[in-house]
Amino acid sequence: GPGASKTGKYQNPEYFMYHELSYTDMDVVMAKYRLPQPSSRPK
């Protein structure tokens, strides 16, 4: 966020531990917990 830095007033280590593929990593980990998508076909 704005003002976040490792040595500044707003020290937020979680902000700096993510990288460009973090979202993809979490997406893969959470995939097994997702509910199946409902079908759009009429019954």
Q: What is the rounded CA–CA span in Å between residue 4 and residue 37?
A: 38
Q: What is the rounded CA–CA span in Å between residue 22 and residue 29?
A: 11
* Contact call for residues 16 and 30 (beta carbons, < 8 A): no
What digits encode the pLDDT tens for the residues 9-28?
666 666 667 777 777 888 88
Q: Which domain holds residue 18?
A: 1-30
pTM for the model? 0.41
Number of domains in the chain: 1
DSSP string covering 1-43: -TTB-SSSSB--HHHHS--TTHHHHHHHHHGGGSPPPPP-S--
Asked, for residue 37, whether it belongs to a domain, the answer is: no
Pick the most confident of 1-5, 24-28, 37-41: 37-41
* Contact call for residues 11 and 5 (beta carbons, < 8 A): yes
Asked, for residue 42, whether it belongs to a domain, the answer is: no
